[in-house]
């Protein structure tokens, strides 16, 4: 397995083709609107969430859960405590929808710099680090199973 999951690659290809920042923002906002579908269920975690699931560098107070499935892959869930953390929500939806159930080898190859493909090169440094921290948590969960 040498590639990242195909579903993620397709989304990255979509975003790579976007040159207009307004179009990019509209697309991301539309994705963020689906955040409730990837929010961690209460039977897995209720607020206040454990610190071990907290993304340290994310200013939007994002949390990541990687729940093992019977086939050895993970179901990824997220929470974003900042109701205005739209970027963190959009990224969470992308990761949950494209990486859940995918082989750990492929998920482990997802690099944090996909953030710049999704959000554009002009994303602020601190913002970029926070978002990359979310990807790091997902990648770490997959790597730990290899």
Stretch that binds other proteins, among 5-13, 25-33, 35-43, 65-73 (CB under 8 A): 25-33
Taking a C-beta distance cutoff of 8 angstroms, is the pair 134, 95 a contact?
yes
Helix (H, G, I), strand (E, B) or coil at 138: helix
Site for other proteins in 66-105 (CB under 8 A): 82-88, 90
Residue closer to other proteins by CB (options 60, 98) is: 60
Q: How far is the CB of 42 from other proteins (least distance, A)?
A: 23
One residue of 73, 98, 119, 138 binding other proteins per CB under 8 A: 119
Residue 145: which of 115, 102, 114, 87 has the closest Cα?
102
Taking a C-beta distance cutoff of 8 angstroms, is the pair 71, 62 a contact?
no
Taking a C-beta distance cutoff of 8 angstroms, is the pair 82, 19 a contact?
no
Residues within the interface to other proteins (CB under 8 A): 22, 25-26, 28-29, 32, 51-52, 56-57, 59-60, 82-88, 90, 119, 122-127, 129, 133, 136-137, 140
């Amino acid at each position: 397995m040498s590639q990242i999951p195909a579903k993620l690659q397709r989304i990255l290809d979509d975003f790579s083709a976007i040159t207009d920042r307004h179009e990019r923002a509209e697309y991301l906002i539309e994705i963020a609107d689906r955040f409730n579908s990837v929010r961690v269920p209460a039977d897995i975690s209720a607020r206040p969430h454990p610190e071990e699931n907290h993304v340290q560098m994310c200013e939007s107070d994002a949390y990541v859960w990687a729940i093992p499935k019977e086939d050895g892959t993970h179901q990824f869930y997220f929470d974003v405590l900042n109701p205005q953390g739209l970027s963190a929500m959009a990224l969470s939806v992308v990761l949950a929808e494209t990486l859940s159930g995918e082989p750990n080898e492929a998920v482990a190859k997802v690099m944090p710099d996909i953030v710049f493909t999704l959000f554009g090169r002009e994303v602020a440094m601190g913002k970029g680090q926070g978002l990359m921290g979310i990807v790091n948590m997902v990648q770490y969960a997959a790597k730990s199973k290899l």
